[in-house]
Structure 1
Amino acid sequence: MARSRPSGLRPWLEWRALRDRAVQWWRTSLQFRTVTVTVALSTAAVSVILGTMSLSIGVNLFESQRDQILLESSRAAAQVQQIFDGASASDQLTTSELDLLRNGAQAAIARTTSSASGTRFALERSPRQAGTLNNMQGVASTDLDIRIIGSTLRDAVAASDDALYYQSVALRTPESEVPGLVVGAPIDVPTAGRYELYLVYNLEGVQRTLTFAQQTLLVGGIALVAMIGAIAFVVARFVAGPIRLVAETSRKLAAGQLEERIPDRGEDDIATLARSFNAMADSMQWQITRLGELSRVQQRFVSDVSHELRTPLTTIRLAGDVLFDERESFSPTTARAAELMHAQVQRFELLLADLLEMSRFDAGVANLDTERTNIVRLVEDAVEAVRPLADSKGSAVRVVPLGGYVELDVDPRRIRRIMQNLLGNAIDHGEGRPIMVYVDSNQHAVAIAVRDFGIGMSEEQVARVFDRFWRADPSRQRTTGGTGLGLAIALEDAALHGGALDVWSEPEEGTCFRLTLPRRSDVEVALVESPLYLPPPTDSALDEVLEHALRQRAEEEQDQRRHIAQAPSRPAGEESE
């Protein structure tokens, strides 16, 4: 029964999939990157411009409204002061007379200020004065909370002579808070002392104007960014289209479709690029066709020569075999010549066979004759085939089957030939030291490593080790009769199986070749980890082989010294013979 995912994970998974898709587009699409960068930079530029414009509009609206409010407040304060100044300062005004003057001042405030701004006022006695004979009761608008007037503003008004002071405040309405402005001015009342007049103005209209302007700028900015993005998309598509066409044509040319070309239209830079690309493609097609024809001629020549040499070589070999068999009846010089001819004819046959094999690889006609084969058994057979040669060189060959007992579909003849080449090189350059053959496998591949502890190679030599007819030391005597094509053929045999042949070497530390074969034909060896390191780490098995080889060599040297000591001395006349 399938288990459903929790619903809370779905938005996260959808967002993650969208993010991965965007990252993939960013990596693979030049058009997407161009449009994204253009939109991002345009958004930043438009945001800075619109932010500056919005701030400038807000400041201008506030300053304009502030100046108007200060002008109205100045007129209102002047009329209120004029009403109170109309009474004789020398007369002692009664409370009822002060109330009448206060009501007149209140009416003057209502006439002077604009009703559209929702002006509210308060006339409060200043706390900073001594007691007076009379006390006029303060008055304020019914919907005004006197607590919104800050102490800083009150202190400034109380200490002032006739200047106006203002302060921004937040006014509460039934719906929300709106910005406001409080203006304060000192008022002198005869026989009652100093009072403070506060006019509170509602700036909601200014705020609505600023909000409308900001919304207009925002919508305009979004529309502008969208238009810039659309323009960038069109321009990027116009530029990226030819680039994609060039990439597609290049891919077809790389795949061998040499007749592919880019349409050439117009006289602009894109058309110039197309003409240059087509000219390059024409030159490449001509060169590749010419080189291909030369390669076919060369392959045909090598193949024909190799086939034509078979008949005379067979005749020479037969005649050489007859001479070689009768060499005991010849003089020493003639017998030695027969032996040299026999050896060189055999080497010539090997070289001819290798040349034919290389021509098949070059012509692409080499094929595999596969069968189910146990890799460990195949390796052991190859080791047994070269063991007499290894014993003659004093090299002990040890197979360490860490794994690899699986059966693979391989061509046993080619794998055996690879092993013979690798083992032959190890014997020739192993300096009589032990040779280790490791076999291991994992779920993807099987690996075979041939490790010697001989003279080794430098980095320059390792880089050329698979070149045809190349030898690390041409003057070095070989015992396996190699032609210089063994490792090149081994590399081709490995590639024919879909495998890989790698090499490691260090001077005076030895050399290790590693053959890696895939267990399935659909597995690419280059994308998986080989079962064996290069070189494989030494273990106790190698220590045992080294100890045994050293002990055996010491015994052989003792036997030789004992044989020399026991041999009778020869007369001087026999030495001359």
Structure 2
Amino acid sequence: MSEPPVRRARAMRRPGSRWFAGLRVRLAAAFTAVALLAALLASGISYVLLRRVMLQRAQDAVLTDVRAALSQQVPPDLPPDVTPLIGARLEDVLESVPKRKAVAVPVALRGGVNLPPRDRLDVPVTREFARRAVRGVVFQRVVRGGTPYLLVGAHATGYGVSTHEPERETPPMVFVSANLSREAADLRLFTRALAIADALALASAVGFALLATRGVLRPVRHLGAAARALGEGELETRVDVRGRDELADLARTFNRTAEALERTVTELRAMEAASRRFVADVSHELRTPLTSMIAVTDVLAENPAADADGAAVELVASETRRLGLLVEHLIEISRFDAGAAGLVLDDVSVADAVAATLDARGWRAEVAVEGPADLFARLDPRRFDVIVANLAGNALKHGGPPVSLRFGPAGRAGAGGLRVVVADGGPGLPDDLIPVVFDRFVKAEAARSRSEGSGLGLSIAKENALLHGGTLEAANGPDGGAVFTLWLPARDAEEDS
């Protein structure tokens, strides 16, 4: 089967491409791009604002000089034939500023316009511009030969003339060209300064980006190494948590996940070991009665008259009953392991249920019962019978008289419930047996290869208690003897619906 195209393309990448696709490079590139964009944006805004200010200032200076010259050199009442004189004076005043040229042009009669000579100004004047200048002050910026200029056209207003010959009393139009090369040079210098500043900002951004990504990616690399160690089976691997940022939260999450994984794997290993031990114990428990039955049947097969008193038949019957009880307990345990065990709840009189359990097994005379006769509890009668029977039977078989069973209402952690205490007068439980007394196939006399019990009774009782949401605990009494305490929480019919 051929390799998919995408996977094959990825496999054909050059070894160095992984470095260029690394998270550090991408973060540094993004950080640098943002810094560069911010620097260019700031530089562009600064350039536009400064250019506007410089040109506006140069323009205002020229316009102010033109208006001042017109107001000062053009009298309110014009005498005849003073246009050449006023024009000369306007030219002298306006050309007193360096890099300015001025020319005065007589106003044409009957709606026409006169243009200044082309060699008198740095930029030519169009008829449209001259026509607009007749009505007041106009200006425009012009670039000629790569040099920027400001062209101003103006005509004085607000003067008085006589009624005899008004055409001889009209002031001239003035055209001024101002060279803006100084401002252009200042802008070029400012542009170079901005370019140098942007380059320095870019270099600084790259340096800061590498430092920042190094600090960010160090915990990520540690997490990656810890994850690899965890994947290789080092379940005790943890990472150091520093700070309160998102990476610290990620480290905490990793540690919690590692702890949960370690706990789960430990439980699974314990369950696996328990399963192996369970299989070995089942094999042993099944082999013991089967061995006895096979031996007896072999004897009877060889000598039918050997069982004249029926002892062999009684042994086979006893071992068969024991084998059946063991199989029944194993089936019950398998239901608990598979999660198939359920409760059939009912309102039960605790006194009647305890009495029925003891009467059915012939233990009524051997167990002293104490508890209120009117106490009712919502529980599964069959499973409650199994719990009481196993506790009482264990006390009678392995403890010593007197055996007592006390029951009554009891609260725990603010919740109501039922408590049943079974105690005996025997020697009590060994200290090393108390923590494991509810484990499967655990017996008080584990060294014996044969015993009357299956070693599953207390385990089944504990599972039934947990199924009710309760607890079953074992301890030794103050005066000796084993004490088993069952607590089942109180239930309402509405909670079960």
Shared fold, TM over 0.5: no
Task: Name the TM-score class by shorter chain.
Answer: 0.3 to 0.5
Greater share of residues in helix: 1
